Chain A
């Protein structure tokens, strides 16, 4: 998993990138000073994995809490720890949140555990703005319950009876976070690998500040939709960006000196 790559949407290729960009950014900061363009991480979605290290270095884990089994000390989610050559760790999915990011660097860095992460792992409500077809039907604000069909392309929710419709529309460009509704009222929240063009009506769009929360919705989980206006969403996006920038710069200060050769 790398950062999103915009500029290919006209080929039908979405920017993709990590579902939870905040966790990804914290992970990157834990292992590198400054931003590197081709930083890569594993995105685990409720998955378990065993990693074996052939060279010494440092591993970082950020996102939904997982349990880490290993002979190494200091292993935990939301932190980093050194690994030795020939060592291995087993990561087992937890029950809160869904996506966990794991990365490795051959740099030898001291173990660090973050006491607080501005995460979106636990979420009960998601803010939405009116989408392109908000006015084309009647879409009473309802809670969404996540179905078993969900991946990086889209999160299919349980059908909402009052959202059933007979709209047949020309397909239109679509964004990550748009909520498409199929004729039987099934909401599909488009993910980072979602379609660049979609034909179902999109009455709501998840505000950009809440996109990382979508990464952690689990099958069966119910979230409330809260409607906000575009200007409020713009302000929320700027504010959450500033909070994240502050967190990252404080983390960078705390890690100062760790990245000396």
Chain B
């Protein structure tokens, strides 16, 4: 493990020997209020300079974490679908098929409330850059890809990813601060008809199973 300053009172932890989300959750269980995981790093906010990282790591390695599968209905007709497919040398239908052919683990939640970082994408649809100028408004429910990552925008926000589709589900954080997609969950995209889409607008997605992982 290695740390860097995010600012004068917050640190970024790199080279973790465990999934960052497990480390962050263990840190929160130990009373650090703001511990945020991303793909390879954890941010610890407003922490003392002499913070004991090894103690957090030991707690994370000893802890049990739950894991679920979340099913996301999807229509692949995003404004960037055609150009993204062309860049990848695929048809839009092929891009869509490759996208929903795999279930993706959630590595982190952040950027905006409830925004779940999923991946990695299959190699054939990976590697697209972010837009050089991010959109100032991306509608909620937009399904997006960039690099090896995929995600769904849960609320209206700016965004630089390639928009390839949409889901009818409400993925915003609940009023009692529960996440619909949590780090450690497995997310599966399921293509649906426009009729199914209309019927599911605003509905929370189906959670298929919950298994305790030792």
Most chain A beta carbons < 10 A, residue from B7, B39, B149 = B7
Contacts A11-B179, A170-B40; A234 near B8 (Cβ below 8 A): yes
Q: A-facing mask of B138-149, CB < 8 A → 1, else 0?
A: 000000001101
| Interfacial chain B residues near A199, Cβ < 8 Å | 130, 146, 160
| Interfacial chain B residues near A233, Cβ < 8 Å | 7-8
Interface residue stretch chosen among B62-70, B71-79, B111-119? B111-119
Contact yes or no, B132 A182, CB < 8 A: yes
Check B28 for interface membership: any CB of A closer than 8 A. yes
Interface residue stretch chosen among A2-10, A30-38, A86-94? A2-10
Interface residue stretch chosen among B41-49, B86-94, B95-103, B189-197? B41-49
Which A residues between 68 and 84 are near B, CB-CB below 8 angstroms?
none
What total of A-B pairs shows CB separation below 8 Å? 137
| Interfacial chain B residues near A13, Cβ < 8 Å | 113, 173, 177
Which A residues between 1 and 55 are near B, CB-CB below 8 angstroms?
6-13, 15
Contacts A12-B110, A12-B115; A170 near B5 (Cβ below 8 A): no
Looking at chain A, what size class is its interface with the partner chain?
35 or more
Check A212 for interface membership: any CB of B closer than 8 A. no
Contact yes or no, B6 A205, CB < 8 A: yes
Contacts A171-B111, A184-B132; A208 near B9 (Cβ below 8 A): yes
Q: Please, how many residues of chain B have a CB less than 8 angstroms from a CB on the other chain?
A: 48
A230 to B6, CA, bound (A): 10
| Cβ-defined partner of B36 (8 Å) among A154, A196, A230 | A196
Check B200 for interface membership: any CB of A closer than 8 A. no
Check B202 for interface membership: any CB of A closer than 8 A. no
Contacts A196-B111, A207-B8, A208-B9; A171 near B117 (Cβ below 8 A): yes
13 residue pairs A–B, Cβ–Cβ below 8 Å? A6-B34, A6-B46, A11-B113, A12-B115, A132-B12, A154-B158, A171-B38, A172-B43, A173-B37, A173-B41, A182-B132, A197-B36, A234-B8
Listed in ascending order, the chain A residues whose CB lies under 8 Å from chain B are 6-13, 15, 129, 132, 149, 153-154, 168, 170-175, 177-178, 182-184, 186, 195-200, 205, 207-208, 230, 233-234, 237
